[in-house]
C-alpha cells in the first residue's frame, strides 16, 4: 500500500513537473516568438514605408517636366496675348490633348489675374472656366517666376488632387503673363498602396491633416491635436475644404509609438516626401494585431496539447512530439516557398543584362551575376570570396579603400562612382557603379547590392574628342608659332633696315624725311622742307597722310595704321606708326611717322588665315562625323537595350514586383544614357544648324543651355536673311563659346542672345549680368576662349568686340557683312578683337 502511495506520489510529482516544464517552455516559446514578431514588424514597416514613400514621390513628381513643356506651347501664349475665339479653340485643343495623354483630371490656363480662361473640363458641370484661383499657392509661387506643385482639395470639383503649375512668359519679359496648371487625381495613389489587412498608411501635411489614407473615414481629419490658431490657418488656406477637421484621437507616446482614444497602441513610422516640404507618409500598425499574429496560431497549436495534459499526462510527450513534428513540416513548407522565391530572385539576378555584384562588410564578393563574370572573363568560383579590390586598377583601388568603401557603409548608398576594372585577359574597362546597402533588423548594413554600367565605349568617344581637341590645340599653337616668327622677322627688318621716316610740324609742314622716303616718292629732302602733303604727294596718298596726322594731333596718342601707296610696279602696303612730338613745355609741336613696307607680310597673313579656315572646316567635318556615329550607332544600341528592359518588365509585372521596380530603374538609367549621348552628339555638331539654319540652331541651343545650367537664357531674333555656311557656323560657335564662358566663369543669373541685321550687317550679341572680368589681365581674358572666337570672326570676314567690367557683366558682339567673305565691307576688312571696360 505504501509502495503504491509512493508510486502515485512519484507519478503525481512527475506529472506536475511535466506540466510545469510544458508551461514554462510554452511561455518562453511564446515570448521569443512575440519579440521576434515585433522586430520583424519594425523591419517590415521601415521597408514598406521606404517603398511607399518612393512610389508616392514618383507619382507626385511625374508631371513636373510635362507642365514646363506645356507652358512653352505657342497656342497658350497666343491665348493670353491675343485672346479670341480661334485662339481659345487652339488652346482648348492643346489642353484636351495633354489631359487625355497624361490621364489626369484636368489641364487649364490662367491669366495674370488668376482667372481661368481655358480648361479641358470647360463642358463639365464643375468647369473651372471663369473661376479665380489667385489665392492658391501654386498661382502665387508660379506667378513670381517659380514653378510650383501643390496638394489640395478642389474648391470647385471637391476632389483631391496634386496641382502642377508653370509660368508663361513673353520672350524678352521677366514678368509672366499667366500660367498653365495640370491637376492629377490623388486617388491613384490609394489604388496603388496594395496594403495588408491590418496595415494603415496615411499622407498628412505639416499640421497633421490626413489627405491620403486607406481608412476612408479619417480623410480630412487631424491625426494629432492642434491649437485653434493652427485650425484657423487651415481654414484660411482653403486647402482642405471647409472643415471641421476633427481630431482622430491619436497621441504620441514615443518616436515610434502612438495610442488612440480607446487606449490601443500603434507602431508608427514616418518619412518625408522629396520635393514636398511638410508632407509626410505615415505607416501604422496596432501592437495587438502584431501580437495576435503570434498568439492566435500559438493557441491553435498548444490548445490540444494542454487538453491532452489534463486528460492524460502519460501521453503528453507523445502529443508534444506530434505537434513539434507538425511545426517542423510547416517550417519545411515555408522554407521550400522561400527557396522558390530565392530561385526566382537568383534567375532575375543572373539574367539581367547588367553587371551585378554584392560584397560583405569586409569588402569581399559574396555574389556576382552571370553578366558580371562574362564581362570580366572569370568563372564564379574564381571571384567568390575574393576582395573586390583585386579586380580594380591601382588608382581605383585607392579611391575605393580611402573614400568610397567607408562612406558607403556609413550612409548605405552611393551613385555613379567611376571605377576601372581589370578583365582576366588584362584589358581594362570603365564602369559607373551605383549601390545600396542591405541592412539587418537593427538597420546595420550587412552587404551591398551594386549595379555597374560599362562606359568604356563612352570613354573612348570622350577620349577621341579630347584627342581631336588636342590636335586642334597643336594646330593652333603651330599657327601661333608661325605668327610669332613672322612678327620677329618684321621686327628685325624694322630694326636693321631703314624705314620710311618723316617729321612734320603741327601745321602739317614737313621738317624732315629720310632717304627711304626720298626713294619712295622720288623727292629730295630739301625740296620737301616746309611743304604739306598736298604739295608733294599724289592726292590719294596726301589724303591718307593728312587724315591720320589729324587723328594723332587731336587724340594726343600714338596711332598705327596701314596705308596703301601706289608705285610703278604696283600698290605697296605700309605699316605706319605715328606719334606726337612734344616740346620741352609738354606741348605738341608736331607729328612723326615711321612706315615699313609690309606688302609681303600681308600676303603671308592671308595665307595663314586661309590655312586656319581649312583647319576649322576640317574640325567641323570631324565633329559632324563623330556626332552621326554617336547618334546612329550608340543611340540605336541603347534604344534596343531599353526595349528589351521594357519587355522584361512587362513579362514580370504580375509575378515579381521587385523585379518590375528594378526594370524601371534600369529604364531610367538607359534613358539618362540616351539623353547624354544625344546631348554629346548635339554639342559636337547640331544637326539643326545644317538642316534648318542659324536661327533655329541658336533657338535650340539657348533652350538646352537654360535647361542644362538653370541660367535664364532669352533668345531675341529678328527676320534674318539666308547666310552662307561659313558665317552661320562662325556665329553659332561664337555664341556657343560665349555661353560656355557664362556658365563656367560669369556666375550670372541671366543671359540675352540677340541676333539681327542692320544695313546688310549681321549682328550677334551675347550679354550676361555676371561678375565680368578685368580686360587688362590679358592672360585671364585669353583663357576665356576669346582667341578662338576672334579667329572665327576674322575668317568669316567679321569683327569681334568684347566689353566687360568687373561686377557689371560682359557683352560679346560679333558683326559680319552679309555680302559674304569675297567682298567684305571696308569696315571689316581687318577684323579686330576689342576688349574694353563699360557700364551696363
**CB neighbourhood size of 358 (10 A):** 18
The pLDDT > 70 percentage for the chain reads 78
Are residues 210 and 219 in contact, defined by beta-carbon separation less than 8 angstroms?
Answer: yes
For residue 370, CA distances in Å to 346, 350, 546, 664, 667 come to 10, 5, 86, 21, 20
* Helix (H) or strand (E) segment spanning residue 598: none
Least confident of 93-102, 660-669, 781-790: 781-790
Q: Answer with the residue of higher pLDDT: 530 or 644.
A: 530
Q: What is the 3-state secondary structure (H, E, C) of 414-457?
A: EEEEEEEEECCCCCEEEEEEEEEEEECCCCCEEEEEEEEEECHH
pLDDT of 830 reads 41
**The pLDDT of residue 487 is above 70:** no
Pairing of strands 160-168, 355-359: unpaired
Angle between helices 2-61 and 287-311 (to 10 degrees): 160
pLDDT at 326: 67
DSSP state for residue 221 in the 8-state scheme: S
Region 817-835: mean pLDDT is: 47
Give the mean pLDDT of 408-423. Answer: 86
More confident residue, 544 or 434: 434
Full DSSP string of 497-517: S--EEEEEETTS-EEEE-HHH
Q: How confident is the model at residue 752 (pLDDT cuts 50, 70, 90)?
A: very high
More confident residue, 22 or 164: 164
CA–CA distances in Å: residue 590 to residues 500, 535, 543, 669: 17, 18, 18, 75
| Phi, psi of 248, rounded to the nearest 5 degrees | -65, -35
267 neighbors 285 (Cβ within 8 angstroms): yes
Rg of the Cα atoms in the chain: 41
Q: What is the pLDDT of residue 298?
A: 57
**147 CB burial (10 A radius; 0-12, 13-18, 19+):** middle
Q: Which of 700, 513, 698, 19 is nearest to 311 (CA)?
A: 19
Spatial distance between the Cα atoms of 473 and 471, rounded to a whole number of angstroms: 5
Alpha carbon 695 to its chain centroid, in Å, reads 25
What distance in Å separates the CA atoms of residue 805 and residue 526, rounded to the nearest whole number? 52
pLDDT tens profile 721-741: 877 777 888 888 888 888 888
pLDDT grade for 835, boundaries at 50, 70 and 90: very low
Nearest-CA neighbor of 405 among 451, 452, 362? 362
Mean pLDDT, to the nearest integer, of 655-676?
80
702, 743 in Cβ contact below 8 A? no
* pLDDT higher than threshold 70 for residue 26: no
Ranges 168-172, 265-269, 385-389, 833-837: which has the least confidence: 833-837
- Work out the number of other CB atoms within 10 angstroms of the CB of residue 319: 18
Residue 611 half-sphere exposure, CB side, CA atoms within 13 Å? 14
What pLDDT does 831 receive? 39
CA–CA separation, 311 and 693 (whole Å): 98
Higher pLDDT, 614 or 372: 372
- What DSSP designation does 133 have? -
Strands 833-836 and 799-804: parallel
| Least confident residue range of 182-196, 649-663, 773-787 | 773-787
Confidence bin at 827 (pLDDT 50/70/90): very low
Sheet holding 810-817, edge to edge: 712-717, 750-758, 761-768, 810-817, 799-804, 833-836
pLDDT tier at 767, thresholds 50, 70, 90: very high
Residue 690: which of 734, 728, 733 has the closest Cα?
Answer: 728
359 pLDDT exceeds 50?
A: yes
pLDDT in the model for residue 348: 66
Compare 760 and 328 and report the one with higher pLDDT: 760
pLDDT band at 713 (very low <50, low <70, confident <90, very high): very high
Strand partners, 751: 713, 768
What is the DSSP secondary-structure string of 237-275?
HTTTTT----B---EEEETTEEE-TT--EEEEEEEEPTT
pLDDT of the residue at 119: 93
- The rounded percent of the chain whose pLDDT value lies above 90 is 7
Q: How far is the C-alpha of 563 from the C-alpha of 574, rounded, in Å?
A: 5
Average pLDDT estimate for 15-27: 66
The distance of Cα 715 from the centroid of its chain, to the nearest Å, equals 21
Kindly report which listed range (320-334, 376-390, 398-412) carries the lowest average pLDDT score: 320-334
Q: By three-state DSSP, how is residue 127 classified?
A: coil
Q: How many helices (H) and strands (E) does the chain have?
A: 26, 27
Q: Please, which pLDDT band fits residue 751 given cuts at 50, 70 and 90? A: very high
| Alpha helices (H) in 103-199, listed in sequence order | 137-142, 187-191
Burial 511-535 (b: 16+ CB within 10 A, else e): bebbebbbebbebeeeebeeebbee
Q: How far is CA 393 from CA 218, 275, 380, 382, 625, in A?
A: 58, 39, 20, 18, 33
The C-alpha atoms of residue 159 and residue 152 are separated, in whole angstroms, by 8
Which pLDDT score is estimated for 464?
Answer: 86
Phi first, then psi, for residue 189 (nearest 5°) are -65, -45
- Are 67 and 147 contacting, i.e. CB atoms less than 8 angstroms apart? yes
DSSP 189-207: HHHT----TT-EEEEE-TT
The answer to whether the CB of 673 falls within 8 A of the CB of 459 is: no
Using CA atoms, how far residue 31 sits from 35, 294, 297, 320, in Å, is 6, 9, 14, 18
pTM for this prediction: 0.37
pLDDT 10s digits, 196-251? 667 888 889 888 888 888 788 888 888 888 888 888 888 888 888 887 888 888 88
Confidence tier at 833 by pLDDT (50, 70, 90): very low
Cα distance from N-terminal residue to C-terminal residue, the chain:
123
Three-state DSSP class for residue 79:
helix
pLDDT at residue 840, rounded to an integer:
34
> Which runs of E-coded beta strand occur in 566-670?
572-582, 588-597
Crossing angle, helix 74-81 and helix 85-102, to 10 degrees?
Answer: 140
Over the stretch 577-612, which tens digit does the pLDDT of each residue have? 888 888 878 788 888 988 877 766 666 555 555 555
C-alpha span between 513 and 701 (Å, rounded): 58
Question: Is 90 exceeded by the pLDDT of residue 766?
Answer: yes
Neighbouring CB atoms inside 10 A of 84's CB total 9
Contact 536, 521 (CB under 8 A): yes
> How many angstroms separate the CA atoms of 80 and 77, rounded?
5
827 CB burial (10 A radius; 0-12, 13-18, 19+)? exposed
Average of per-residue pLDDT across 540-557: 81
Residues 189, 151 contacting (CB under 8 angstroms): no
Say what angle helices 657-684 and 635-652 make with each other, to 10 degrees.
170
Strand partners, 501: 594
d(CA 76, CA 110): 10
Answer whether residue 768 shows pLDDT above 90: yes
According to the per-residue pLDDT averaged within each range, which of 317-321, 384-388, 603-607 is highest? 384-388
Mean pLDDT of the chain: 78
The 10s digit of each residue's pLDDT in 180-204 is 999 888 887 777 666 666 788 888 9
- CA dist., res. 137 & res. 233, Å (int): 14
Question: What single DSSP character describes residue 829?
Answer: S
pLDDT of residue 610: 57
Looking at residue 786, its pLDDT comes to: 76
Amino acid at each position: 500500500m505504501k509502495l503504491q502511495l509512493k508510486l502515485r506520489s512519484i507519478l503525481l510529482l512527475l506529472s506536475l513537473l511535466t506540466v510545469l516544464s510544458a508551461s514554462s517552455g510554452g511561455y518562453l516559446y511564446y515570448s521569443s516568438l512575440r519579440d521576434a514578431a515585433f522586430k520583424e514588424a519594425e523591419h517590415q514597416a521601415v521597408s514598406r514605408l521606404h517603398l511607399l514613400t518612393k512610389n508616392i514621390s514618383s507619382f507626385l513628381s511625374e508631371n513636373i517636366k510635362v507642365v514646363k513643356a506645356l507652358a512653352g506651347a505657342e497656342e497658350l501664349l497666343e491665348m493670353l496675348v491675343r485672346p479670341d475665339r480661334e485662339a481659345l479653340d487652339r488652346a482648348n485643343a492643346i489642353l484636351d490633348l495633354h489631359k487625355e495623354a497624361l490621364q489626369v483630371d484636368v489641364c487649364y490656363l490662367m491669366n495674370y489675374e488668376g482667372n481661368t480662361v481655358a480648361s479641358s473640363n470647360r463642358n463639365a458641370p464643375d468647369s473651372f472656366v471663369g473661376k479665380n484661383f489667385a489665392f492658391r499657392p501654386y498661382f502665387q509661387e508660379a506667378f513670381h517666376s517659380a514653378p510650383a506643385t501643390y496638394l489640395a482639395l478642389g474648391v470647385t470639383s471637391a476632389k483631391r488632387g496634386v496641382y502642377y503649375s508653370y509660368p508663361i512668359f513673353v520672350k524678352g519679359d521677366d514678368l509672366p503673363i499667366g500660367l498653365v496648371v495640370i491637376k492629377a487625381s490623388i486617388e491613384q495613389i490609394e489604388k496603388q498602396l496594395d496594403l495588408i489587412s491590418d496595415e494603415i498608411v496615411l499622407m498628412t501635411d505639416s499640421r497633421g491633416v490626413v489627405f491620403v489614407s486607406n481608412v476612408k473615414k479619417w480623410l480630412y481629419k487631424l491625426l494629432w491635436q492642434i491649437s485653434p490658431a493652427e485650425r484657423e490657418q487651415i481654414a484660411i488656406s482653403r486647402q482642405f475644404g471647409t472643415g471641421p477637421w476633427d481630431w482622430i484621437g491619436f497621441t504620441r507616446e514615443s518616436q515610434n509609438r502612438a495610442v488612440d482614444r480607446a487606449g490601443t497602441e500603434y507602431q508608427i513610422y514616418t518619412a518625408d516626401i522629396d520635393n514636398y516640404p511638410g508632407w509626410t507618409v505615415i505607416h501604422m500598425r496596432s501592437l495587438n494585431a502584431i501580437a495576435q499574429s503570434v498568439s492566435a496560431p500559438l493557441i491553435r497549436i498548444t490548445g490540444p496539447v494542454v487538453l491532452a495534459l489534463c486528460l492524460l499526462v502519460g501521453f503528453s510527450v507523445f502529443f508534444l512530439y506530434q505537434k513539434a513534428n507538425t511545426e517542423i513540416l510547416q517550417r519545411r513548407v515555408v522554407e521550400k516557398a522561400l527557396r522558390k522565391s530565392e530561385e526566382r530572385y537568383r534567375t532575375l539576378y543572373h539574367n539581367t543584362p547588367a553587371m551585378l555584384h554584392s560584397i560583405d562588410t569586409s569588402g569581399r564578393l559574396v555574389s556576382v551575376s552571370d553578366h558580371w563574370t562574362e564581362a570580366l572573363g572569370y568563372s564564379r568560383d574564381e571571384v567568390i570570396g575574393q576582395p573586390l579590390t583585386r579586380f580594380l586598377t591601382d588608382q581605383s583601388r585607392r579611391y575605393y579603400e580611402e573614400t568610397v568603401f567607408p562612406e558607403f557603409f556609413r550612409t548605405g548608398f552611393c551613385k555613379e562612382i567611376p571605377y576601372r576594372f581589370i578583365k582576366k585577359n588584362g584589358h581594362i574597362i570603365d564602369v559607373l557603379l551605383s549601390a545600396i546597402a542591405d541592412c539587418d533588423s537593427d538597420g546595420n548594413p550587412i552587404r551591398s547590392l551594386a549595379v555597374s554600367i560599362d562606359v568604356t565605349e563612352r570613354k573612348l568617344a570622350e577620349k577621341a574628342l579630347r584627342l581631336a581637341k588636342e590636335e586642334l590645340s597643336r594646330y593652333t599653337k603651330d599657327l601661333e608659332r608661325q605668327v610669332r616668327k613672322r612678327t620677329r622677322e618684321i621686327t628685325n627688318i624694322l630694326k636693321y633696315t631703314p624705314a620710311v621716316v618723316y617729321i612734320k610740324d603741327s601745321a602739317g609742314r614737313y621738317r624732315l624725311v629720310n632717304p627711304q622716303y626720298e626713294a619712295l616718292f622720288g623727292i629730295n629732302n630739301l625740296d620737301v622742307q616746309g611743304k604739306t602733303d598736298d604739295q608733294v604727294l599724289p592726292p590719294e596718298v596726301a589724303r591718307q597722310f593728312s587724315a591720320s596726322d589729324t587723328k594723332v594731333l587731336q587724340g594726343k596718342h600714338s596711332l598705327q595704321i596701314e596705308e596703301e601707296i601706289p608705285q610703278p610696279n604696283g600698290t605697296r602696303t605700309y605699316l605706319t606708326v605715328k606719334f606726337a612730338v612734344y616740346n620741352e613745355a609738354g606741348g605738341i609741336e608736331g607729328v612723326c611717322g615711321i612706315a615699313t613696307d609690309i606688302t609681303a607680310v600681308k600676303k603671308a597673313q592671308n595665307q595663314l588665315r586661309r590655312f586656319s579656315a581649312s583647319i576649322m572646316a576640317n574640325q567641323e567635318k570631324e565633329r559632324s562625323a563623330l556626332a552621326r556615329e554617336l547618334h546612329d550607332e550608340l543611340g540605336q544600341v541603347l534604344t534596343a537595350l531599353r526595349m528589351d528592359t521594357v519587355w522584361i518588365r512587362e513579362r514580370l509585372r504580375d509575378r515579381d514586383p521587385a523585379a518590375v521596380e528594378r526594370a524601371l530603374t534600369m529604364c531610367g538609367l538607359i534613358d539618362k544614357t540616351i539623353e547624354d549621348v544625344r546631348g554629346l552628339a548635339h554639342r559636337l555638331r547640331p544637326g539643326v544648324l545644317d538642316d534648318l539654319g542659324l536661327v533655329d540652331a541658336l533657338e535650340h541651343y539657348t533652350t538646352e543651355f537654360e535647361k542644362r545650367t538653370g541660367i535664364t537664357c532669352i533668345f531675341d531674333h529678328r527676320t534674318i536673311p539666308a547666310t552662307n555656311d561659313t558665317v552661320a557656323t562662325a556665329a553659332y560657335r561664337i555664341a556657343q563659346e560665349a555661353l560656355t564662358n557664362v556658365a563656367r566663369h560669369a556666375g550670372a543669373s541671366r543671359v540675352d542672345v540677340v541676333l539681327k541685321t542692320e544695313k546688310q550687317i549681321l549682328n550677334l550679341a551675347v550679354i550676361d549680368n555676371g561678375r565680368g572680368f578685368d580686360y587688362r589681365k590679358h592672360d585671364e581674358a585669353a583663357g576665356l576662349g576669346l582667341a578662338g572666337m576672334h579667329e572665327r570672326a576674322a575668317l568669316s570676314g567679321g569683327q569681334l568686340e568684347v566689353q566687360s567690367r568687373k561686377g557689371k557683366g560682359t557683352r560679346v558682339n560679333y558683326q559680319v557683312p552679309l555680302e559674304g567673305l569675297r567682298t567684305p565691307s571696308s569696315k571689316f576688312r581687318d577684323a579686330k578683337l576689342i576688349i574694353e571696360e563699360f557700364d551696363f
